[in-house]
Structure 1
Amino acid sequence: MIFWLAAVALAVVPLIPAVPVYWVTLLDNIGLAALVVIGLVLLTGVGGMTSFGQATFCGFGAYATALLTTQYGVSPWLTLFVALAVTLAVALALGFITVRLSGHYLPLGTIAWGIAIYYLFGKLEILGRNDGITGIPPLSVAGYQLSDSRSVFYVIWAFVLAACVATSNLLDSRMGRAIRALRGGTRAAEAFGVDTARVKLIVFVYAALLASVSGWLYAHVQRAVTPTPFGINASIEYLFMAVAGGTGHVVAAIFGSTLVILLKEALQRILPVLLGHTANWEPVVFGAVLVLILQKWPGGLWMFVERLLPQSLAPKITADAAPLPVRSLPARGSNLLSLERVRKAFQGLVAVNDVDLSVRSGDIVALIGPNGAGKSTTFNLASGLLPLTAGTVSFDGVRIDGEAPRRIAARGMARTFQHVKVLPDMSVLDNVALGAHLRGKAGVLSATFRLDRAEEARIMADAARQIERVGLKDQMLLQAGSLALGQLRILEIARALCLDPQLLLLDEPAAGLRHFEKQQLARLLSQLRDEGMSILLVEHDMGFVMGLTDHIVVLDFGMRIAAGSPEEIRANPAVIEAYLGASA
């Protein structure tokens, strides 16, 4: 509601005669910057991919329309589609290479191609070299030319408003959760079926297209295009706007753009009066202020505005939503998971040495052993997070060794992690709903145009059901980062259940839980077994394991030393020696 009231108030500004053209022009420039920064919020703030090349995509939009309108007389509105098509092709080509980089190589990659394309703009004869292209016609509506700041204001801000709504819709969707999951690392996201490489490319292209629209508008507002506004300095400024505003919020993109542009304008007016015209102090002071903001408020200044806004805690759950399709479980007692002579060597260290392990449908199997025995490594081999050195892994009669984790997840295998992997800034409900990623089909276009609501309601209803099932109903709307370690482990189990798996892999699920919480977890796992689900778990709590499992496999120094029922394992001399030592 507040967002729409602010939009109406903004729309009235150019109609007030007392508002100078200078201020309207500033608002136009803020709008043009905000389009780029909204894309950066999604790319960098939400997706975790830092880009120093967004101004380059503005250049593709600007030069495409400048060339077509001045040389070939094409209508400016038609050139928008050409500009987007050109940017799409370039972004796909650059993104295919860039998003596969990680760490500091990713921003370095964007700097490299950003500088290269900037110099390319200044060298091509068809683009006017460094002199650029002039004489670009203004936009027109019904024969009326939008040649001044007041008239073009509404076009610019209509695009900004549309970008805000579309991006907010995208984030509040199945694809939005997949994008947010990128910040938590690719392992957890892949384990629940997210094709992280594809999602990264989608975000990269989406941000590039918004920047292209900004460049297209810029060309028709300025009526001339040169390479200067599309260089590395402009890209750095856009990134500053995103960070200073608040990288996790769409509307903060407008706030950050306003902050940086007004700061620059103020410094240009104030510093010459205070310090004279003998030196250009603006970049020095501007940089110092931004460094102060980044050091003092690394989350951005939007948090001060957010505190003044009402917070909505209403759950996004539709009670009468149709249930999601349920996977059929294999016949009880059939062989579901088989590891045969599985080996994993890290150079000279053999972490898992020719281990055999099997899980029958409807059984709870425990994998135990001293610290460093290779239990979690075996888990990672079974779920596809690590490649095998030798051996085979089969699931439901099909070999899966060598398959990507997301494809294994699609077959019906869900897992938790030894070190909890949740998204602390997302609610418990959204974290659990990520587990149902493969149970939905809606893509980017469906999300941005809000055509995915029926499917989203079904996913959220199932996530809420799993949360209630594991006993976290009272924490459903809290941020996951506010939960205790034991609750986070239970959250991971709810997320895994949301995948509707045939086999549940639990890596130390009872770690950090109090006694009564372990009892509740044991009851939950027993209930799941009674429903026909199979469970493989790694655990150190022997009391928890012995009273729950049907079969136990013991590892020591990467080798299987025993296997059998809890009673057999409890009395096995090799197990006693591994845990207590030969003298005991």
Structure 2
Amino acid sequence: MTRLRPQRLGVAIWLAVMCTAVFLPVPEFWITLANYIGLYSLVALGLVLLTGIAGMTSFGQAAFVGLGAYASALVTTQYGGSPWVGLVAGIALVVLAAGALGAITMRLSGHYLPLGTIAWGLSLFYLFGNLELLKKFDGITGIPPINFLGVELQSGRNLYLLIWVIVALAVLAVLNLLDSRTGRAIRALRGGLVMAESCGVNTARTKLLAFVLAAVLAGLSGWLYAHLQRAVNPTPFGLNAGITYLFMAVVGGAGYVWGALAGAALMTILGDWLQNILPKLLGQSGNFEVIVSGMLLILLLQRAPGGLWPMVLRVVGMFKRGTATGEHPQLPAPIGLQNAQLAQPLPRRPQAAAGSTVLDVRSARKTFGGLVAVNDVSFSVNAGEILGLIGPNGAGKSTMFNLVSGVLPLTSGEVHFAGERIDGKTSRALARAGMARTFQHVRLLPAMSVIENVAIGAHLRGHRGWMAGVMRANRIEEASIFAEAQAQLDRVGLGADALREAGSLALGQQRLLEIARALAGDPVVLLLDEPAAGLRHQEKLALAALLRDLRSQGVSILLVEHDMEFVMGLVDRLVVMDFGTRIVHGLPEAVRNNPAVIEAYLGGVE
């Protein structure tokens, strides 16, 4: 069965089950509890996208809930607008605030990022409590109910269906988003910014998009909260609430969409149950439920570090780690593979004329303080040529590689690509120009399928944005990207492993996967950083045959490698570096017998 159908079928079944409750003679308290689970689920869903998938921790989501609530409360009570006008105003305000805050906060990294979210979360909380327009800490009362198709949703039971329909649509939208070009870019952030940028992903814009979308889900929850409570004050939008929302996402399973609902349900029900039972057991009242629930949650995270949802999946057997025949388990097929019949050939860039210079490095120099890592090195790569860059450990090869690929800036010198000067440009700009690379230490997304990792390499060959992904208006483009990804996997010999988890591959296969990802970008120049490391003898022979085939098709290759036997039988020319300086440049046989090379590798001969 395809992935799309289980997603939509699962959402439909879950929505039907949840909505049935309102028509049954269940206690009003249960309906109220379910309403709050729905509201919390929206915020936790945004945190799954932001924290669990994009890798950015935020403690300030409660402030965005407050913005959505206060905006609608103000519009409906002070300016006579309808709740639907309040929704538009609230979402607009949240987008503006999240865009402004995200532009600053998303530049932070490490522990500074969550500290930044705490800072503006506290600032907005005290802003709510000190503005006369918002009635300070007394808050706004008399908020009108939502009118839906002429029916006023005055009670929690009346609002129940609307809440859960919105939650279901949000879940489906996030699932669709993650299974799209933009969703892969968001997930690529987990693999490191250097890897994502080398594939053409605008990491700054992608981080900001994830931040704004998470804030919109929080603002939507705030709008529903305001018209459910019919009054708002700053108390529910403080730092404690922000921490609770983050706990919900983490406890449920921060990397799983359905984990947001599981975490919201568990923490809401657990908190209420403990609040009722502990005073009876202890014989006194107090906030003992906070202490006990905290201890239980720590125990849960010790036993299930990934959260509740992965544990549920293991229990019901949805993630089998093997089959009866000993084959590797397969991940669900992405939307692009489901619509393979819609695939169209992706446009290809013309290769450079045979014999022309495509990459020209002129007196490249890189210093780190007083250390000269690369000392005025020059070389060029011609069209349809494999140039080897070799040298002993510490020779400066990796630094030179990073200078060419845009990861590091030059101290002096120039780099020209396809006739244009490119030093100072980003890796993303170089990827757009036709330069692709692999890494010395493999950089993949291990939890994603093999073919989705390759599809990230074709990011710049598509153009449909996040809205097209949410609305499933990207079927043709996705089918075309995945057809290209499958072709590149077949090219490197991994076609049969397309739906395996990338992390389950052996190291040698992961290096081949990186080459397939680079080839998916349709490069003019391919930069390979030790591609033969970890490969067995037969795999090296297959890799050499692949690189010769690419050379015959006009692809230029710059190869950094330690395996001299592999290099000597493959490259057209060699550049040898030692202590940051180019010591020899020429044909492989001449380089092999050069006394300077022998001395650099062996320390000289008697």
CA 1:511/1:574 → structure 2, altered by over 3 Å: closer, same or farther? same
**1:224 is aligned to 2:231:** yes
Match of residue 53 from structure 1: 60
Partners of 2:505 and 2:452 lie apart in 1 by 14
Secondary structure of 1:251 counterpart: helix
Partner AA of 1:315 in structure 2: A
Task: Give the aligned length.
Answer: 583
CA gap 1:344/1:572 in 2 versus in 1, 3 angstroms: same
Q: Does the Cα contact within 8 Å between 2:446 and 2:504 map onto a contact in 1?
A: yes
Equivalent residues in 2 for 1:321-336 (5 A)?
321-336=343-358
User: How far, CA to CA, are the matches of 1:533 and 1:443 in structure 2?
Assistant: 30
Deviation at 1:319, TM superposition (A): 4.7
**Cα distance, 1:98 vs. partner?**
0.4
Pairing 1:56-135 to 2, within 5 Å after superposition: 56-135=63-142
Distance across 2 between alignment mates of 1:401 and 1:368: 22
Instruction: Answer whether contact 1:319 1:461 (CA < 8 A) is retained.
Output: no
Q: 282-291 vs 560-569, which deviates more?
A: 282-291
2:102 and 2:303 map into 1 onto residues whose CA distance is 33
Deviation of 1:520 after TM superposition, in Å, equals: 0.3
Q: Match of 1:305?
A: 312
- List aligned pairs for 1:415-454, cutoff 5 A: 415-454=437-476
Contact 2:304 2:311 in 1 (8 A): no
- Residue 458 of structure 2 aligns to a residue in which SS? helix
Determine helix, strand or coil for the equivalent of 2:257.
Answer: coil
Rounded Cα–Cα distance in structure 1 between residues aligned with 2:263 and 2:596: 64
State the Cα distance separating 1:310 from its structure 2 match.
4.4
Alignment map for 1:493-572 (pairs within 5 Å): 493-572=515-594
Whole-Å Cα distance in 1 between the matches of residues 576 and 190 of structure 2?
35
* Number of the residue aligned with 1:15: 23
1:254 matched to 2:239: no
- 1:320 deviation in Å? 5.4
Contact map agreement 2:68 2:90 (CA 8 A) in 1: yes
Cα separation, partners in 2 of 1:77 and 1:320, compared to 1, 3 Å:
closer
Q: Which residue of 1 aligns with 2:505?
A: 483
Distance 1:165 1:174 in 2: 16
Please give the alpha-carbon distance, in whole angstroms, between the structure 2 residues aligned to 1:500 and 1:70: 57
Q: Among the aligned pairs, what percent are the same residue?
A: 59
Separation of aligned partners in 1, 2:422 and 2:603: 37
Moved more, 303-312 or 240-249: 303-312
Q: 1: CA distance between counterparts of 2:519 and 2:296?
A: 48
Structure 1 counterpart of 2:50: 43
**1:376-391 matched pairs, under 5 angstroms:** 376-391=398-413
State the distance in 2 between where 1:280 and 1:310 align: 38
Matches within 5 A, 1:18-33: 19-33=26-40
Q: Deviations along 1:397-447, whole A, 9 cap, x unmatched?
A: 100000011001100000000111001111100000000000000111111
The Cα shift of 1:127 comes to 0.2
For the Cα contact (< 8 Å) 1:393–1:399, is it kept in 2?
Answer: yes
Q: Is the contact between residue 394 and residue 400 of structure 1 (CA under 8 Å) also seen in structure 2?
A: yes
2:300 is the counterpart of 1:293: yes
In 1, the alpha carbon distance for the partners of 2:264 and 2:285 equals 29
Task: Give the letter for the 1:47 counterpart.
Answer: A
What is the CA–CA distance in structure 1 between the aligned matches of 2:306 and 2:45, rounded to whole Å? 16
Q: Which amino acid aligns with 2:35?
A: D
Equivalent residue for 2:150, pick from 143, 162, 181? 143
1:235 aligns with 2:242: yes
Cα separation, 2, equivalents of 1:21 and 1:279:
25
Q: Identify the residue that residue 425 of structure 2 maps to in structure 1.
A: 403
Does 1:179 pair with 2:186? yes
CA distance in 2: counterparts of 1:152 and 1:177, whole angstroms: 35
Shift of 1:278: 4.9
Q: Match for 2:14: what amino acid?
A: A
Tell me the CA shift for residue 282 of structure 1. Answer: 1.5
Deviation for aligned residue 1:147: 1.1
Quote the residue 1:4 is aligned against: 12
Name which of structure 1's ranges 252-261 and 318-327 shifts more when overlaid on structure 2.
318-327
Q: Secondary structure at the match of 1:577?
A: helix
Q: Deviations over 1:255-308 (max 9, x none)?
A: 110011001011101111111215431211121112222232221010122232
| Paired amino acid for 1:182 | L
2:429 aligned partner, one-letter code: R
**Partners in 1 of 2:270 and 2:432 — Cα distance?**
50
The amino acid that maps onto 2:477 is: E
Give the SS at the match of 1:237.
helix
State the secondary structure of the residue aligned to 1:48.
coil
Say which SS state the counterpart of residue 69 (structure 2) adopts. Answer: helix
- For structure 2, the 5+ residue unaligned runs are 1-8, 320-329
* SS at 2:255 equivalent: coil
Distance 1:426 1:116, change over 3 A: same
8 Å CA contact 1:321–1:458 kept in 2: the answer is yes
What is the TM-score of this pair, normalised by structure 2? 0.95
User: For residues 349 and 286 of structure 1, what CA distance do their matches in structure 2 show?
Assistant: 54
Residue number in structure 2 paired with 1:315: 333
1:85-143, CA deviations, whole angstroms, 9 ceiling, x for partnerless residues?
Answer: 11111111100000010000000000001001101100000001000001111111233
- Which range is displaced more, 5-14 or 170-179? 5-14
